[in-house]
Structure 1
Amino acid sequence: MNQLKKIGEISSEYGITSRTLRYYEEVGLIESIRIGEARYRAYDNNAIQRIQQIILLRKLQLSVKDIQIIFSTEDMPVLINIFQGKLNNIDKDIHALKTFQWIIQEFLRLLKDKEYTRASGLKLLMEKSQEIESEHDQAIESESRRKSQEDNYMEEINMAIKKISKLDDVRIINLRPMRIAWYSHISDEPEEHAWNEMINWVKENELDELFTSRYFGFDSCPPQEGSSEYGYEVWVTVGEGIKPSGKIGIKEFKGGLYAVSNTKGCPGDKIPLVYRNLHEWIKESDYNFGNHQCLEEHFPNIPSKQDEEFFSHLDIFYPIKE
């Protein structure tokens, strides 16, 4: 028996809006029958069966365009190709979600292990935001390009969570190019003078409230024979609008690949030990020593030599290459 059901009945029974039913009719997926003087829309058994099929295909997240193709042909290879394409898209989505999972797991691990403050934790997330946005863009690119970029990024994330027993942790980080304000000083104890000069400049330019700023320092030249003086250089990351002034210059840092460990809990005289341990780790790893600049990044706030935590929370960046 061919029983007719009004559009309201179908909408209630199958949880689909009457507007959607009318849309399916407009694009040719279903046909209705007009009944009564008011010309109400109604659907026979064939239309109801088609509606059930559409609901199932939509639950499988097939597009209306794909469903139109399925209903317009009896060719089985067409159906197979559509479902194979959907399966490929699901594989890509799974791959992208796994990558996001790695990002979040690594972010949480760093927050828990290093006990960052909220501000420095957000800073860390900001540093990763460009990578996360890039990963999102990859998810909507062509399959071959996305596959290559996601695989490269997945490899980078995997490297970033490698552990060794000699240190609390070693991360492999591809430090991206940065625009930096810099100052270098040579004396018996150049760190204090260099940081004081830089921090005064930072405050004068109202950059001290930016939690996205990063602070680096490093020995810029060793002491000469018979002298105790050596050089120390400090960096602060800055935006495009910041200009050099006074003793502070501006330059571009090209970035590079680094093995990174942390000195949390170590007194200042243990910093060379962290460098030595990183040196030994690189010798035993699959990496070679790089030629770019060693760096010491200060966390979580503006460095101050008067602060007893000045040397207790540094990330030591040791340059490496594949």
Structure 2
Amino acid sequence: MSLLTISEVSKSFNISTRTLRYYEQIGILQSKKKEDYAYRTYDQSDIRRLQQIIVLRKLRISLKQIKSIFQNTEQTHIVEIFLENISDIDNEIESLATIKNILNNLIERFTVSTKIGFNFDLLQDQDILKIVEPLNLSKINIKGEKSMEELNKANENLNRLQDKDVRIIYLPPATVASVHCVGGSPEIETGNILNQFIRESKLYDVKPDFRHYGFNNPNGNIPDGSDHGYERWVTIPEEFEVKPPFTKKYFQGGLYCSYMIPMGAFDEWFRLYNWAQNNDKYELKYKEELVERECMEEHLNYVNKYMLSPEDSTIQIDLLLPVKEKQTNV
């Protein structure tokens, strides 16, 4: 098998180059560099490792657990991780089964009360209130399908975001300090530069409510990914002076749909895209001059998180897409 470029791998496996770079950053996937060729390529062993990661992610195994599996391939260790996840799934299934039984019971009670002409008041029924009060549900992780085809179907169903999962937010206009790198590992490079800028300028004292956005610029068209770039913004006071490699810019703000992920779960991007493209109330809104930053990422609570390693599991990121309300015919 010949070496594949990062762009070819991205297209073949329907996975973003952002995700591939992050997998490499945290050490669960490696790329190769050919002699006289400085950019990322992947050989057969790399592709096999990526396929393993994709399957494990579809099984809802976390990146932290995947890394642990690759570091310790003892079967007993892997089984322990799977059993831990099965326990979580069993709890979720049990909770969902309880909810289903309660709903069926409510339907039965409504049906009976209608037949006998009695008005069943859900909000005043003490028995129901006592049953519902202690329930605590999280999202179901996976069904019991075993084949790859069934797994893909289950994964597709579970990956559909609901309206309750997505927030519609307004990002306020702001003056920002921008840093931009192209080629190599621009996400890491810009992150290190921004971290140093914040520490040296003591931005946390000057603007304790500063916010941090990042986005591809450009997404990259060259197959080996050498033209891929990443730009980061941090909000600053309007009169704040910045020096190279930073430039001062103005962010116009606007309406965005937002979905929060833990650091590294960039494979969630397609879920937000799918939601935005199939929503009844909102539609994507792109301006020609903003195309490169149509997929923005905001690091939440960055004022307290900028010093952390990008592998830190406490880091949360909002995935952001610009939207507008659909016009309705009255």
Shorter-chain TM-score bucket reads 0.3 to 0.5
Give the TM-score of the pair, scaled to structure 2. 0.43
Tell which structure's C-alpha radius of gyration is larger. Answer: 1
Higher relative contact order (Cα pairs below 8 Å, separated by 6+ residues):
2
Q: TM-score, normalised by structure 1?
A: 0.44
